[in-house]
Chain A
Amino acid sequence: MAPRHLIDPHAHFHWSGSRDDHARYNASRLNAGDRMGILYHVASILGTWGRRSPTYFASPADVEAGNDAMYDITDAEPARVRAYVHVNPNHTEHALREIDRGVARGAVGVKLSASRRADDPLNDPIVAEAGRRGMPVLHHIWQHRQRDWGMQEASDAIELVRLAARHPGTNFILAHIGGGGDWAHTINVIRDVPNVYPDTSGSGVDRGMLDAYLASVGAQRLLWAADLTLCTGLAKLQALEVIGMPQADLDDICWRNAVRIFPPATFELT
């Protein structure tokens, strides 16, 4: 059993300002995505990915340049790429202007950088604006963050849920349950928070992880995604296919939930 469609709501690209082999990298993602059946990559570029300013603390200039590069990719690949507008919440007014500019260039979601703890009030005007525009907010999460990790001000599910509770009209994508930390911790935190959607991305492919999330949050809130490793994304897709769930649940996870939380007409699906 395979899903009718496949959308990756957590993807990234590179550009000339972030790495020299950006063309090879981007082509590899698109080619592998085609082979996996990914119809849409909903993607962001995080500034210069550390080359000129830190990935998660990108300067306003790098945020703009990365976003422009991302919009250029969506312009070049309108059939299979959609863009997030990436913002650094330490520059609130700039972030709000970037959202405005991003929407004009076709952005469909907000990539809220891990530049400030998720429950910090600085994030409020940004996620409120995203909610007002019907755009989901994708936030990098460290599952059960027990300390600060370098070069980011990461949050865990507890901190994101505080923000989500203040903004019930905004949908949040809790990034990469397989992306570091303890995924089992996040489950209990988000179980009863309807506007938080965990995504399955990350390099982690622990047995038991997908089953635990299905049992807890259910198929209507889980988002299949790949992030930086399409190979582990494909593995989790194949694992979902052999679990034996109803076709409707598989479709929810692989594309229908994404269709629900992104703005109308984001995806053209037949």
Chain B
Amino acid sequence: MTTHRFDVDVSAWIGSYPFRELPHPDAAILVQVLQRERIGQAWVGSLPSAWHRDPAPSNAWLYEALAPHADVLRPSPTVRPDWPGWEDVLDEAVRRGAPSVRVYPMQLGIGATSPVLPALARSAAARGLVIQLTVRFEDLRQRHPTDTVPDLTAAHVRVLVRADSRVRVIVSGAGRDLIEETHWSLTPEEQSRCFWDWAWVWGPPEDHLEHLVRTVGPERFTFGGFWPLRLVQAPLATFSLLSPLLPAVTMTSGLRITAEAMSHVV
């Protein structure tokens, strides 16, 4: 029997990327990668949907592409909360067994003060859906000249977390600065509902992950690999290089996050 290193990879996508060719970003390949790296399952988004005006067609494609691999790949459709009928996306996500929905406020030009974000938080929480945010897809230094979208801000995360006491938010691709700015701007209760992957958090010799494990705590982190954009080995390597002097570190499983989100659904 395989012992999983992590139960869930919450930060995976399939599909093409508008700014460069990705090697075979297909569901079947992702399944092989998960097996090779001993990761139990992945929550998978549609990568191109982050740039689509209407994510509905891309979500339909996502459900179809993942269906043959339903035992290990769980859909995480994209919702655009300023688009007519957006709550239908949430209802379908529930029907399809999705653990989460993804929203890309920066790509959509949704500011942190927009009322659509609290509305999304309340609607997702009522349905037991986790909300997933992505700070960036590529390093600022390498982006295509037309990719002028700035990184996600702490204000966006805060407004979602604070909007509803039931909502769970996972943020992918944050660095130490954004994690600390956000975490320490939330109450302890709010902090407990906000989770981060460490795909963009550095290990030695700066030891940012070790610092964060000691300060904000390992329970705030959940595994995210950033496939197919980045090597899934990166966050695995960073985790493996945590100081052996640290007590056994257990990050939070995505399964626990979704169970917490579901516990409020009546």
Contacts and interface: CB of A to CB of B under 8 A. Distances in A.
Interface of A: 25-26, 28-29, 31-32, 35-36, 142-143, 146, 180-184, 203-208, 211, 228-232, 234-236, 238-239, 242
Contact of A207 (B203, B228, B236): B228
B207 A234 contact: no
Contacts of B139: 180, 203-204
Contacts, number: 91
- Most B CB atoms within 10 A — which of A36, A181, A231? A231
Contacts of A32: 203-205, 241
Contacts of A238: 231, 233, 236-237
Contact of A239 (B22, B203, B229, B233): B233
- Most A CB atoms within 10 A — which of B21, B139, B205, B209? B205
- Most A CB atoms within 10 A — which of B20, B204, B236? B204
Given A32-B241, A242-B36, A235 B236 contact: yes
B142 A143 contact: yes
A229 B206 contact: yes
A235 B236 CA distance: 8
A206 B230 contact: yes
19 contacts: A25-B206, A32-B203, A32-B205, A143-B142, A203-B202, A204-B139, A204-B142, A206-B138, A207-B230, A207-B231, A208-B23, A230-B203, A230-B205, A232-B202, A234-B233, A234-B237, A235-B236, A235-B237, A236-B233
Given A205-B230, A207-B227, A207-B229, A29 B204 contact: yes
B251 to A, nearest CB: 15
Consensus secondary structure, chain A interface: helix
B155 interface: no
A25 B204 CA distance: 8
Contacts of B241: 32, 35-36, 230-231, 234
A238 B241 CA distance: 13
A181 B20 CA distance: 13
B205 A28 contact: yes
A228 B206 contact: yes
A16 B183 CA distance: 32
B207 A28 contact: yes
A187 B238 CA distance: 28
Interface in B1-45: 20-23, 36
A242 B204 CA distance: 23
Contacts of A239: 231, 233
Interface of B: 20-23, 36, 138-139, 141-142, 145, 202-207, 209, 227-231, 233-234, 236-238, 240-241
Contact of B142 (A36, A180, A231, A232): A180
Given A25-B206, A231-B204, 6 more contacts: A31-B204, A36-B241, A205-B230, A205-B233, A207-B230, A238-B233
Contacts of B207: 28
A205 B142 contact: no
A187 B116 CA distance: 44
Contacts of B22: 207-208
A232 B205 contact: no
A208 B204 contact: no
A182 B233 CA distance: 21
A236 B202 CA distance: 14
- Sort A-B residue pairs by CB-CB distance and give the 9 closest, nearest first: A231-B203, A32-B204, A180-B141, A234-B237, A235-B234, A28-B205, A231-B238, A29-B205, A235-B233
Given A206-B229, A208-B21, A231-B241, A28 B234 contact: no
A236 B205 contact: no
Contacts of A29: 204-205
A44 B203 CA distance: 20
A207 B23 contact: yes
A177 to B, nearest CB: 11
B234 A205 contact: yes
A235 B141 CA distance: 20
Contacts of A234: 233, 237, 240-241
Contacts of A232: 202, 234, 237
A239 B23 CA distance: 14
B235 to A, nearest CB: 8
